[in-house]
Amino acid sequence: MAYVTRRRPRVFRILLLIMLLACMSVGTVFAFKKIFQNYPESLMKVSETDKDYGKHKYVRKKTDEAIYFLHYPQTNIDGLNDYIQGVMDDTLATLPTQALETAVEVKQDYAIHHINDRYVSVKLETFENQDLFKTDVRIFDVDTQKFVSTDIFKTDALRYMTSILRKESGLDIKDVGFKNIIVEANNPNLYLEKDTLYIQIDNTLRVFDYKNNTDTLNETFNEVNATNNALPSVYLDYQYDETNPKMVAFTFDDGPHYLYGKEIMDIFDKYEGRATFFIQGYRVADHADEVIAMFDRNHQVGSHAYNHPNFNSISIEAIQQQLDDTEKAVKDATGYDEPLFVRPPYGAYEKEKMKNFDVPFINWDVDTEDWLVSDSERICSIALRDISDGSIVLMHEIYESSYQALDCILSELSKQGYQFVSVKDLLLAKDVDIVNGEVYFEAY
- Residue type at 208 in one-letter notation: F
Q: Give the pLDDT of residue 100.
A: 86
Q: Alpha-carbon distance 184 to 353, whole Å?
A: 43
Surface-to-core class of residue 277, CB atoms within 10 Å of its CB (0-12 exposed, 13-18 middle, 19+ buried): buried
Under 8 Å between Cβ of 380 and 366: no
Q: How confident is the model at residue 4 (pLDDT cuts 50, 70, 90)?
A: very low
* Alpha helices, H only, 308-375: 316-334, 351-354
Tens-place pLDDT, residues 408-441: 999 999 999 999 999 999 999 999 999 999 999 9
- Residue type at 113 in one-letter notation: H
What is the number of other CB atoms lying within 10 angstroms of the CB of residue 176? Answer: 9
CA angle 362, 340, 214 (to 5 degrees): 150
Q: Alpha-carbon distance 315 to 295, whole Å?
A: 31
Q: How confident is the model at residue 82 (pLDDT cuts 50, 70, 90)?
A: very high
How much of the chain is in helix, strand and coil states, percent to nearest 5? 40, 25, 40
| Mean of all residue pLDDT scores within the chain | 93
Q: Tell me the Cα Rg of the chain.
A: 33
DSSP strand pairing (439-440 vs 276-279): unpaired
Which is more confident, 5 or 78?
A: 78
Running DSSP on this structure, what letter comes out for residue 103?
P
Q: Which residues pair with 392 in a beta bridge?
A: 249
Running DSSP on this structure, what letter comes out for residue 217?
B
Under 8 Å between Cβ of 191 and 256: no
CA angle 439, 440, 444 (to 5 degrees): 150
Segment (H or E) for 333 = helix 316-334
For 223: left if phi > 0, alpha if psi spans -120 to 50, otherwise beta; the answer is left
- Is the pLDDT at 11 greater than 70? The verdict is no
Q: Give the pLDDT of residue 394.
A: 99
> Helix or strand or coil: residue 236?
coil
Q: How confident is the model at residue 18 (pLDDT cuts 50, 70, 90)?
A: low
Q: Alpha-carbon distance 221 to 412, whole Å?
A: 49
Q: Which among 330, 272, 337 has a CA at the least distance from the CA of 298?
A: 272
Q: Give the pLDDT of residue 12.
A: 59
Tens-place pLDDT, residues 307-366: 999 999 999 999 999 999 999 999 999 999 999 999 999 999 999 999 999 999 999 999
Distance of CA 119 to the CA centre of its chain: 24
Tens-place pLDDT, residues 32-52: 444 445 789 999 999 889 999
Q: Give the pLDDT of residue 65.
A: 94
Q: Alpha-carbon distance 343 to 252, whole Å?
A: 10
The verdict on pTM exceeding 0.85 is yes
- Structural domains in the chain, CATH included, are 42-147 (3.30.565.40), 152-187+200-216 (no CATH), 247-440 (3.20.20.370)
Under 8 Å between Cβ of 400 and 259: no
- Is the pLDDT at 24 greater than 60? The verdict is no
Q: Which among 302, 324, 169, 297 has a CA at the least distance from the CA of 236?
A: 297
Q: How confident is the model at residue 99 (pLDDT cuts 50, 70, 90)?
A: confident
Q: What is the mean pLDDT of residues 186-200?
A: 98
Q: Alpha-carbon distance 178 to 61, whole Å?
A: 38
Q: Which among 104, 9, 108, 111 has a CA at the least distance from the CA of 65?
A: 104
Segment (H or E) for 159 = helix 158-168
Tens-place pLDDT, residues 251-272: 999 999 999 999 999 999 999 9
Q: Give the pLDDT of residue 13.
A: 64
To the nearest whole percent, how much of the chain has pLDDT over 90? Answer: 89
Q: Alpha-carbon distance 240 to 419, whole Å?
A: 8
> Helix or strand or coil: residue 430?
coil
Q: How confident is the model at residue 14 (pLDDT cuts 50, 70, 90)?
A: low
For 346: left if phi > 0, alpha if psi spans -120 to 50, otherwise beta; the answer is left
What is the number of other CB atoms lying within 10 angstroms of the CB of residue 439? Answer: 17
